[in-house]
Structure 1
Amino acid sequence: MSHAHNQHTPPADLRILDLFAGPGGLDVAAEALGYRATGIEWDDDAVVTRSHAGMDTFHGDVRRYRAAFFPHADVLTGGPPCQTFTVAGNGAGRRSLHDVTEHIHKLHEAVRTARAVRSDESRLDAWKGAFRTWRKIYEKLRLNEVLAEEVRVEKRRIEKARTGLRKTMRGRLAGLGHTPRETKDFFKKLKNPQDIRLPDVDLTALLKAYSDLNGELDKARRRLEELGDPRTGLVLQPLWWVIERCLRPGSRPYEAVVLEQVPAVMPVWEEYSRVLRTLGYRTNTQYLHTEAFGVPQTRRRAVLMARFGPGTLAELEATHERYRPGGRDGGVLGEDGEQLPLPPRDTPDSTEKTPKTPRKGWISMETALREAAGAFPERGEFTVVSNYGTGGDPDARGRRDHDTPSATITGKVSRNRLVHKGTNVDLPGGLGRFTNAEAGVLQTFPAAYPWKGKDVAQQIGNAVPPLLALHVLQHVLEPDLDEDGRKERLEEAAERLRTRPASAVPVEALDHKGLKGHPLTGR
């Protein structure tokens, strides 16, 4: 019998502080493992959901709080709202990534300087130097954010004026006897209005004004790119909180750090990892496929895991097989719903190692919905038709059958259609869409989770799948468990997660006044 048998409390009493906590994906996983979590979340609707789920929450912008406010927090987690640092497109993603990494490099240099000193007086000076570095970065980003908002207001004014001009031109064309088809062809040419020649003086004047607005709009767009993405400051917040706890006199380092986001953010986590290692953490960064951890959904996440102290942090081993369709649905759906080509059957996945223990099969939508602790209707065999087009064709919708994992659950999940398998005929009787509870289950939230507020589909799509969070937290926070103990802990926690009831009494969200007397603040 392992030492984890019938153990419902964690091996260590660690308090978790979750930045950008969302509706509670990571927090409900922590609860299932027996840890206490406090979240900071600014979105009103996500906070309402958290409140009804009984989640301890500070409602507000993360930037209005500091690590020093929560000296009794042992673990820092979060998924900051990140830019898509893509190398495709017009280059804005590359510039955002460059800006973020430059800021991290400056902070890393300040950390190196601080770690090199020995005396208490020198450590205080080094902390002040690091804080000055952060303030310069922070103030620049905040100024850019203010300027960007001014440009966005102007951009909206220009776009409104363009819309008015288009309406006026449409009326003028109708007055001149143009057919709807001719009017449509005219507006197609407005992409290059300088090439249009018209005999009508009034229409020519309108066209000139429209062209001038296009020029102003292009300038506004370029200016917004120069100012950078306003979320950059949010991306850096978790790193600064870790630095502050490590360098600020009188503070102690977080025992562990867990951060997750979309795959494009991995370069940022790699830069983070270098700084954390200088601060004394052992780290690991991994791309994790959700279906490989029992989530009935294909979704890839970039995860940073860190534990304070010397040594190494092992990779997180998958418990289930990756989803590799064999022609049943024609392909794999990517992060945004795009249908991706199938890999050759005899081509191994170079990113996977031979597992230490046999893996379970992936979980299908049908299985997850049937086994959820809720009364969901039986649909029989069905196919989910994605809201997203594929291959650049908006009419070519991705498809997944009931006996496969779901495609990535996004904020548009409520727009996906459920049709009879092998057809394009919607299921009848209100069964042609997933309910919020069903979409939540496909994210591995409990069936009874109390989704509240507006745009629940967006809340669900933005959340980290709790079952994935459970695996990550258990791996980082309980490194000393043996294999049997780890497995038993996971199974017990997964069952508590699946059967968690809705909170009977909502918990009121806190603001700055709630810092006084809170268990994490020591005030």
Structure 2
Amino acid sequence: MSHVNHAPSSPAIFRIVDLFAGPGGLDVAAEALGHQVTGIEWDDNACRTREAAGMDTFAGDVRDYRAADFPHAQVLTGGPPCQTFTVAGHGAGRRALDDVLEYIGRLHDAVRSKETPWPEVERTWNEISEELRLRAAEADEVKAQKREDEALRSFARRTARKSLAEHGCSPEEIELALKTTEAPRGLARRDADLKNLFDGLVSLEKSLDAHRARLEKLGDERTGLVLQPLWWVIERSRCPGLEPYRAVVLEQVPAVMRVWEEYEKVLDTLDYRTKTQMMHTEAFGVPQTRRRAVLMARLGKIDIPELRETHHRYRPGGVPATSRDADRADTPLWGVDEESVGRRRPKDSWVSMEAALKKARGIALDLGLPDLNLPDRPAFTVVSNYGTGGDPAARGRRDHDAPSSTVTGKVSRNRLVHKGTNTDLPRFELAEAGVLQTFPVAYPWRGSDRSQQIGNAVPPRLALHVLRHVLEPELREEEADARLEQALAKLENWRPPSEPVKVRRREGLKGHPLNGG
């Protein structure tokens, strides 16, 4: 981002509670903007990273806390664990989405009238929570039965394999019999024990199919988790003695957009102005193509406009664009339109992996952190761990001079090869994977499943753009640009504290600043 000669205004400082906070993607962005964040996170590994990064954290299940525990929080943020919501077609995803939308509708009905007593609103939530609890308990029982049947099936298959081999069946015949759960007819007629064995296998397969169907119908606990942010907003808006959040920011995978759209209807009833937007991360300077469904809400009468992209979107095989309208057919020769001069700055090019990693190496040296594993790589190609077009053998490929594909929990499994060859290079280091997510190069990853922590996190740079947009609507464009530039510099040069911040438990609520201490 080029320098902007406008001093940023002194912004208001907000106190934020972040649900499902992960390793701290949103938190480190909020810190760069000067806000104060307290996160709630259940994963022990992510909590260890947050400790080392100095992030104020309450460990545990979000469902064990409530909005009333943090009455002084002014902003609610979060990214509830995503489900495979499938909007088109049938199956578990479609049913899970329908369930969530039905529950949101019930909550909306409960708050449509401001005259509805709080105990009645709370009763609706308690009824939903109890339904979800009973479904989860039943699902646990079905899972236990399924595990027992799977163990019995494994034993029966081993016994059948041994018996068929003793009868002189070839390996091919054995595999076919086990696949079809049908013993060779001649053998089944002659050997009653073998016939009973295969009859038992058929029965077990039917039982397992029934278990799968039941589990699909029951769904999983994430159905309840995706409702938690909405309930926190309702509690703060309608519970006597509490004040509404001044702003709400939620983000998740694209399939959750349908849920956010239903959230909007409830938030509108609660006097919020909202905006949902599908955001392309590379269009905000993240060196990675990734889409996130974002819900932005602000209390009051000020509408939230669409968040303007600062960088061009990536187009495979395309050349990095250098100006806002470089890809339009009606763009003037020099990319300048007299009417737009002085009104809006042009978009920057998307950021490549090579550029991001090179800059990170320079920052590490400037910060005096030469021990970070940031190798000076030759021209490379990333061969994804995932197949494309449904073909596991057709691995996606991205060259060093393009943004990364979506960074997932399997980022450490991606192969790196010399560009134009299949000659292997060392795979990405954790610090490199973090940089591709726009975490500071010095971010202290701790615990196990570190690749998963990185892949599950919201890119801090994207979070920074969204938070600034929602929390500082009064800034003029020049001031907003200067504010972003200042915060981005803080984000890139961020360093962890010299001492870790101990994670709190629920019993540590008393005396906490957001609790009234």
TM > 0.5: yes
* Aligned-pair CA distance for 1:356: 4.6
Question: Pick from 427, 433, 444: which aligns with 1:450?
Answer: 444
Distance 1:32 1:152 in 2: 44
Report the counterpart of residue 396 of structure 2 in structure 1.
398
Q: Matched residue of 2:128: which SS?
A: helix
Report the counterpart of residue 72 of structure 1 in structure 2.
72
Report the counterpart of residue 176 of structure 2 in structure 1.
185
Question: Pick from 438, 448, 453: which aligns with 1:459?
Answer: 453
Distance 1:184 1:269, change over 3 A: same
Report the counterpart of residue 41 of structure 2 in structure 1.
41
Contact 2:253 2:292 in 1 (8 A): yes
User: In the alignment, is residue 5 of structure 1 matched against residue 10 of structure 2?
Assistant: no
Q: Matched residue of 2:424: which SS?
A: coil
Contact 2:136 2:218 in 1 (8 A): yes
Report the counterpart of residue 97 of structure 1 in structure 2.
97
* Aligned-pair CA distance for 1:175: 2.3
User: In the alignment, is residue 140 of structure 1 matched against residue 128 of structure 2?
Assistant: no
User: In the alignment, is residue 367 of structure 1 matched against residue 355 of structure 2?
Assistant: yes
Report the counterpart of residue 367 of structure 2 in structure 1.
none
Q: Output aligned runs, 1:411-426, within 5 Å.
A: 411-426=409-424
Distance 1:401 1:60, change over 3 A: same
Q: Which amino acid aligns with 2:469?
A: H
Distance 1:230 1:478 in 2: 35
Of stretches 468-477 and 498-507 in structure 1, the one that deviates more from structure 2 is 498-507
Distance 1:302 1:91 in 2: 22
How many residues are aligned here? 484
Distance 1:390 1:155 in 2: 32
* Aligned-pair CA distance for 1:6: 6.4
Q: Matched residue of 2:226: which SS?
A: helix
Q: Matched residue of 1:311: which SS?
A: coil
C-alpha deviations, 1:94-138, integer Å up to 9, x for none? Answer: 11111111111111111112x2x3xxxxxxx62111111111111
User: In the alignment, is residue 407 of structure 1 matched against residue 409 of structure 2?
Assistant: no
* Aligned-pair CA distance for 1:3: 11
Of stretches 168-177 and 415-424 in structure 1, the one that deviates more from structure 2 is 168-177
User: In the alignment, is residue 320 of structure 1 matched against residue 301 of structure 2?
Assistant: no
User: In the alignment, is residue 274 of structure 1 matched against residue 268 of structure 2?
Assistant: no
User: In the alignment, is residue 197 of structure 1 matched against residue 185 of structure 2?
Assistant: yes
C-alpha deviations, 1:183-207, integer Å up to 9, x for none? Answer: 33334x33xx258635142332221
Distance 1:474 1:152 in 2: 45
Distance 1:407 1:477 in 2: 30
Distance 2:451 2:52 in 1: 17
C-alpha deviations, 1:142-190, integer Å up to 9, x for none? Answer: 1111111111111122122222222222222332333333333334x33
Q: Matched residue of 1:257: which SS?
A: strand
* Aligned-pair CA distance for 1:327: 6.6
Distance 1:135 1:276 in 2: 20
User: In the alignment, is residue 511 of structure 1 matched against residue 505 of structure 2?
Assistant: yes
Contact 2:183 2:194 in 1 (8 A): no
Contact 2:110 2:124 in 1 (8 A): yes
TM-score, normalised with respect to structure 2:
0.90
Distance 1:503 1:59 in 2: 20
Runs (5+) with no aligned partner, structure 1: 118-124, 329-344, 349-353
Contact 2:87 2:255 in 1 (8 A): no
Q: Output aligned runs, 1:430-441, within 5 Å.
A: 431=426, 433-441=427-435
Distance 1:243 1:17 in 2: 15
Distance 1:357 1:503, change over 3 A: same
Distance 1:218 1:186 in 2: 19
C-alpha deviations, 1:24-54, integer Å up to 9, x for none? Answer: 0000100011101000000111001101100
Report the counterpart of residue 21 of structure 1 in structure 2.
21
Distance 1:501 1:162 in 2: 54
Distance 2:6 2:136 in 1: 49
Question: Pick from 385, 388, 396: which aligns with 1:387?
Answer: 385
Percentage identity across paired residues of the two chains: 62
Question: Pick from 477, 485, 496: which aligns with 2:490?
Answer: 496
C-alpha deviations, 1:211-247, integer Å up to 9, x for none? Answer: 1111111111111122222211111010010011010
Q: Matched residue of 1:209: which SS?
A: helix
Report the counterpart of residue 206 of structure 2 in structure 1.
215
Q: Matched residue of 2:312: which SS?
A: coil
Q: Which amino acid aligns with 1:396?
A: A
Distance 1:40 1:440 in 2: 21
Distance 1:466 1:174 in 2: 59
C-alpha deviations, 1:259-279, integer Å up to 9, x for none? Answer: 000000001000001110110
Q: Matched residue of 1:446: which SS?
A: coil
Distance 2:258 2:8 in 1: 40
User: In the alignment, is residue 468 of structure 1 matched against residue 462 of structure 2?
Assistant: yes
Report the counterpart of residue 30 of structure 2 in structure 1.
30
Distance 2:328 2:159 in 1: 61
Report the counterpart of residue 85 of structure 1 in structure 2.
85
Distance 2:184 2:101 in 1: 45
TM-score, normalised with respect to structure 1:
0.89
Report the counterpart of residue 324 of structure 2 in structure 1.
none
Question: Pick from 167, 173, 194: which aligns with 1:176?
Answer: 167
C-alpha deviations, 1:255-312, integer Å up to 9, x for none? Answer: 0000000000001000001110110000000000000000000000000000000131
Contact 2:272 2:298 in 1 (8 A): yes
Distance 1:178 1:319, change over 3 A: same
Contact 1:306 1:313 in 2 (8 A): yes
Distance 2:139 2:477 in 1: 52
Contact 2:272 2:297 in 1 (8 A): yes
C-alpha deviations, 1:294-348, integer Å up to 9, x for none? Answer: 00000000000000001311110000000011279xxxxxxxxxxxxxxxx9999
- CA RMSD between the two structures: 2.2
Distance 1:3 1:36 in 2: 27
Contact 1:259 1:305 in 2 (8 A): yes
Of stretches 255-264 and 199-208 in structure 1, the one that deviates more from structure 2 is 199-208
* Aligned-pair CA distance for 1:73: 0.1
Distance 2:407 2:120 in 1: 44
User: In the alignment, is residue 308 of structure 1 matched against residue 306 of structure 2?
Assistant: no
